Structure 1
Amino acid sequence: MPITILVICCSLWGCGDSGPSGETMALGQEVYNRPASCVTCHQSIGQGQPPQFPPLRANPSVVSDDTERLIKIVTHGMSGPIEVKGEKYDSVMAGLGNQLSPEEIAAVLTYVRNNWRNEASEITAEEVRAVQAKYPDRKLPWTVAELDGLPADTAQAGGAHEAAEADTSDPIAWGHALYNGAAMCATCHQPNGQGIEGAYPPLAGTPWVTGDHNRLIKIALHGISGEIEVLGKSYSNEMPGQGGLLTDEEMAATLTYVRQAWGNEAAPIYADQVAALRAKYADRHEPWPGPELAAVDNVSPLTNVRFRRIDMSDIPEGLHLNTPEFDALPVIDEGEIESNYFDTTKIAGHHEKDALFAVVFEGELEVPAEDQYHFALEGAGTAVLVVGDEAVVNQPDIKSKWLNKKATKLMSPGTHQVKLYYHQGVGWKNLKASARADSVSRTKWAITPKPTNDMQLSNPNYLLVPERDEPILLRGRFEGLGHLGMAVGHPLRVNYAYDFSRSQLTRAWQGEYLNAAAVWLGRNDKHMGPEGSDALDLTTRQPVAILASLDADWPGPVKVNQSPEGYEFIGHRVVDKLPVFYSKFFDGVLSDRSVPQTGSLTRTLEVNSPEASNTLVALLAEGAKIEDLGQGTYQVDGSYRVVVDASSPLPEIRRQGDRDLLVAPAAWEDVSIDLPSWILSHTELEPQSPGHRATWAWEYQWID
């Protein structure tokens, strides 16, 4: 028996070849699985992520004898379209030569060449050094044409060479080319700036990009490490600095592009700003800690902030703020505010909804150079903002209930005294104030604090909890929705959110409902998200569509704050304490109603139309993978099931791109149109006119 085993081992691995050492494989595995390294894109077992990141598992290119090609790719990166096992991939891989030593590159290449059914020779550190010595000045990723030894004009050159050919006089065009090429930003943050959730944060719509320009330059120069929060999601992968890769001019162009792409609106960044920070931190060689840079968002431009709370128990008729009579009123509390914000939440009595509340804040604003400053006050109550001796924002009548005032003032260099009078009677004590200089950025300097989770949860009034049989219907801004939508919280602890612009139910979740501090504290200037768990991101595509044919592709996702073709949101009415949403749908009306159950949510779509289209189809679910479990039950991404009502047409699973869609055709019935007149007034339909109705009903069930 021992002889038999020896023969088998020799036949499989070769008696004289021991393969890579355990030490080399261990180092390669450690390098491969480092944060922001190979594993993020190519995954833990080398399966990749189509259509962006190719697999390394059972990949002929990985086990090729052309080891110089592999070393060049890992050292400098690669761009351009490639094909692996019949699948096409076209993205930029960032080079790791400035992060990994020759020993680490050799080990990680050896590891992937001898793992996941791969088997190939070991690559040594000496081989890596020899290849790198041939290209000491190489900065750009290799194109596929270069790696294949083809002339550059016989294949697509890719983004790396687009940067070299771009018009450097246009910073946006140049920055776009650099972003997708030499700067290699698109590799992680993606060409659309959306990043990869859980790995690389988005650049679109985040203050990390549009906010403090010095912070953004520091990140680009030196990198960032540690956990940060971007648009409500946590990210902890380390980003390497690009200071050694890009000149001051290239970095300024790249950052200007990202600050003005994908809906971002922020001031340009200039080469002299980059140069100044590069010189200031010339001795820095490690990434900036994320929490340290995040604190930039929470720094007030004010210093030496004090407050006086005024006794309003006996006020004369017609009293106005910022008058000698008001300043003469008794003071019931005073002190300093360490955060240097004009922060009403630090003052006793702020949470007393039924009490009169008046306070005078004072602080100092340092102005480094002459500049136009834009001041704004918004909230419940009335206020006056005094800079120096001038009331720049002035709403002094204490009988006023709502505040929304702006003003601009040319500020001279130096220290300016700032005073804020604020009064609110019965109701929420909410105030938002800001001061912004033209030369800084378009991000507002908040001089009142932004709502935080601790601030929200410290007051139970902010955490909305449905009680008994009374659902809560809250209009506002919610994660994933446009400017306006509605979130419904139910006592059964099943909640959902509806996007008015898209006319679509986009999210459902269980447990706690919402924290409404964004409404009460911030005047709804940030998007609220679910407080509970098991959130289902259902879809951002339209709920029903008239297709060119029943097997035609479904329309793509609907962008934020846009409506699908043929749609116009009309409004909602409450039936049995829950909303029914109505939208004009071409010549007809779409109604959408959801009813929470224990552990599930039932949904009914209904189209009333003068014509019965034979290509009308409804979208019941969308996911990366939908499985047919039989008897009208379908499982979506392993997280929830869709159970179709027996009265509704059976759907089919349709693969479209990298997504599965569960779609069902219409089953029309002849009816008399019976809808409220205020809904019909948005259409050409007449009450009780003959028409047609199609109905779909199904249930979302969470999987335990």
Structure 2
Amino acid sequence: MIRPWFILTAVLTAPAIAQDGGQLYTTYCSACHAENGMGATGGQFPPLAGSEWIKDTPDRAIQIVLHGLEGPVEVKGQPYNLAMPPQGAVLPDDQIAAILTYVRSSWGNDAGKVTPEMVTKARAATADRAAPWTAAEILKLHPLPKTPSPLKNLTSRVYHGKWEHLPKFDELTAENYEEEQDGIISLKHAGRKDFFGMVWEADFIAPGDGEYLFRFSCSDGGRVILDDQVILEVHGRGPMNGARTVACIEELKGGSHSFRVEYYEYDGDEGISLTWSGPDGKFSGALTDTVFQRPTEAPSIPVEPTAGRAAIFRSFIDGTTPRGIGIGFPGGVNLVYSADNLAPELLWTGPFVDAGDQWTGRGVNPTPPAGENVARLSQTPAFPIQARFEGYELDPAGNPTFLVRIGDTHITDHYQPAGGHSFKRTLTSKGESTTILISETLPVEPLEDGWQIGERITLQIGDAHPILRNNRLYLELPSSGATTLRYTLK
């Protein structure tokens, strides 16, 4: 789904008919959350399979889709900081319901059906909201269901001392002993900030047979022991910033396993983080009351066309309006369509976009085009003021068709690659004739078979009727029929 977050990078608008939630998810959500719901790009995106955000009430996920989400969020014991733009203005209620129904009933999820009426009611309840949700805000309204800890009979012991390496705790005398009834590993009983160590022991109750993933990080050092075998260890002194995080996969039988965690803190910031996930992602969570932080430097996450299919990037893009929709075609020609001005505003060649900062920094800054020599065609509305954006559709190759309505006149604006650094744009009208702005910011000169726009763009317009006025190039669209343009970038 949706990058919960849930993260939507594409939008669908289609006739209000029965919707296939699985097909909608594959087309519009799997690029971020993966077809198996485990999160794309090696887990850079939050998973939906087994996600606690999907369980019980559907209102939590509905509100995130409608209004978006910003700020840190934790999913299945892991922290994320991704941009989820609001989709309520462009995604209809029946499609939100179909997608969420599919997500809530797939990959081991067993939550109930979401109906269009539920979405309509949720939309009306927050119709005045203008800003995206934060995790704290949405969880205040719709708290997450509590997941019982798999650690049973958990105890903790506290030791005092200055260690830069793990001591032999069993040869030392503990300063304090506690029974941790909540099954959560915490430093709350340490009694000091520096120069101490702790040992926790418990029974880890594996809910089923299969592979279990454990992630461990701490400041300063420690280790995890499962069934009397060391499975994870952090040495020396250092911060809990993600760079010292270690992980492993263990094959376990369902049932009880002995579990021990040893930890020491020299001085400075203290912290310990341990998370787990079970077979097929059905079970997961944090075993500690804190979770590790990811490295502060955003990783590079290039978004590029794959397998001959265009790439769609719907987030905040530098150089265009807030509702910019990026399209990267196979062959290395790219554009950004503004859903506010109803026009292709930016064109460039080479790499499409690098979403590393946007998808791991939650959109602090707009994402710039990754290529060079970006050309701006326009920056004002292309149609009369009463024109309205009605969403877009993707064909099987990922090529978009944008939908525009001007009163009773309907216009489709389709884009597809045309070989090399070229793409075709086909405008089809049904209703009354209208005039559309093509270019306004670059010098325009006529050619024998088209127009030269700036130094890098040539435009072929076929039998269309061009109008050049004060260096602004317009086309007159007929009341019915198609007009095909071909853009070529040097």
TM-score normalised by length of structure 1: 0.31
Q: Which structure has the larger Rg?
A: 1
Higher strand share: 2
Structure with the greater relative contact order (CA < 8 A, sep ≥ 6): 1 or 2?
A: 2
